[in-house]
A and B are shown apart, each in its own frame.
Chain A
Amino acid sequence: MPMIRYLLVRLLGALPTLLAIVTISFFLIRFAPGGPFDQARALPADVVANLNAAYGLDRPLWDQYTTYLRDLAHGDFGPSFRYKDFSVTELIREGFPVSATLGAIAIAIALVAGVGVGVVAALHRGRWIDHATIGLSVVAIAVPSFVLLPALGLLFGIELHWLPVAGWDPTSVRDYVLPVTTLCLPPLAYIARLTRASMIEVMRSAYVRTAFAKGLPLRTIVLKHALRPALIPVASYLAPAVAMTMTGSLVVETIAGLPGIGRYLVQGALNRDYTLVLGMVIVYSTLLIAMGLVVDVLIAALDPRIRLEA
Chain B
Amino acid sequence: MSDGPILAVERLRVAYPGRGGSIEAVRDVSLSVGAGECVGIVGESGSGKTQLCLALMGLLPPGARIEGAVRFAGAPDGAPRAVRGERIAMVFQDPQTALTPHLRIGSQMAEVLVHHRRVPGSQAREAARSMLARVGIPDPAGCLRRYPHELSGGMRQRVLIAMCLLCAPQLLIADEPTTALDVTVQAQVLELLARLRREQRMAILLVSHDLAVVAGLAARIVVMYAGRVVEEAPADALFRSPRHPYTAALIACAPNADGPIPARMATLPGQPPGAAERFAGCPFVARCDRSSDRCRHEPPAMVTLDDGRRFACHEPLPA
Is B85 engaged at the interface, CB distance under 8 Å to the other chain? yes
Is B160 engaged at the interface, CB distance under 8 Å to the other chain? yes
Is B115 engaged at the interface, CB distance under 8 Å to the other chain? yes
Shortest C-beta distance, A198 to chain B (Å), equals: 14
**Do A207 and B112 have beta carbons less than 8 Å apart?**
no
**Do B149 and A305 have beta carbons less than 8 Å apart?**
yes
Mask: chain A, 198-215; 1 = CB below 8 Å from B; 0 = not: 000000011111111111
Name the interface residues of A205-263: CB closer than 8 Å to any CB of B. Answer: 205-217, 220, 224-225, 228-229
Is B92 engaged at the interface, CB distance under 8 Å to the other chain? yes
Is A71 engaged at the interface, CB distance under 8 Å to the other chain? no
Residue of A nearest to B147 (CB): A304
Is A303 engaged at the interface, CB distance under 8 Å to the other chain? yes
Is B222 engaged at the interface, CB distance under 8 Å to the other chain? no
**Do B163 and A214 have beta carbons less than 8 Å apart?**
yes
**Do A217 and B99 have beta carbons less than 8 Å apart?**
no
- Which of B13-21, B100-108, B236-244 makes up part of the contact surface? B100-108
**Do B99 and A212 have beta carbons less than 8 Å apart?**
no
**Residues of chain B with a CB closer than 8 A to A210's CB:** 92, 98-100, 160
Is B116 engaged at the interface, CB distance under 8 Å to the other chain? yes
Cα distance A229–B97 when bound, in Å? 13
Residue of A nearest to B90 (CB): A213
Cα distance A305–B148 when bound, in Å? 9
Residue of A nearest to B115 (CB): A216
User: Interface range on chain A: under 10, 10 to 19, 20 to 34, or 35 or more?
Assistant: 20 to 34
Cα distance A224–B114 when bound, in Å? 14
Instruction: Please judge, given known A-B contacts A213-B57, A214-B163, A224-B111, whether A229 and B86 are in contact too, CB under 8 Å.
Output: no
**Do A213 and B59 have beta carbons less than 8 Å apart?**
yes
**Do A220 and B147 have beta carbons less than 8 Å apart?**
no
**Residues of chain A with a CB closer than 8 A to B163's CB:** 214
Shortest C-beta distance, A125 to chain B (Å), equals: 8
Is B220 engaged at the interface, CB distance under 8 Å to the other chain? no
Residue of B nearest to A205 (CB): B97
**Residues of chain B with a CB closer than 8 A to A303's CB:** 101-102
Cα distance A303–B148 when bound, in Å? 11
Name the interface residues of B18-72: CB closer than 8 Å to any CB of A. Answer: 57, 59
Is A302 engaged at the interface, CB distance under 8 Å to the other chain? yes
Mask: chain A, 95-106; 1 = CB below 8 Å from B; 0 = not: 000000000000
Select which of A209, A214, A224, A229 is within 8 A of B112 by beta carbon.
Answer: A214
The 5 A-B pairs at the shortest CB distance, nearest first, are namely A215-B85, A206-B97, A214-B85, A207-B100, A215-B84
Interface set of B (CB-CB < 8 Å, partner A): 57, 59, 83-86, 89-90, 92, 94, 97-103, 111-112, 115-116, 147, 149, 160, 163
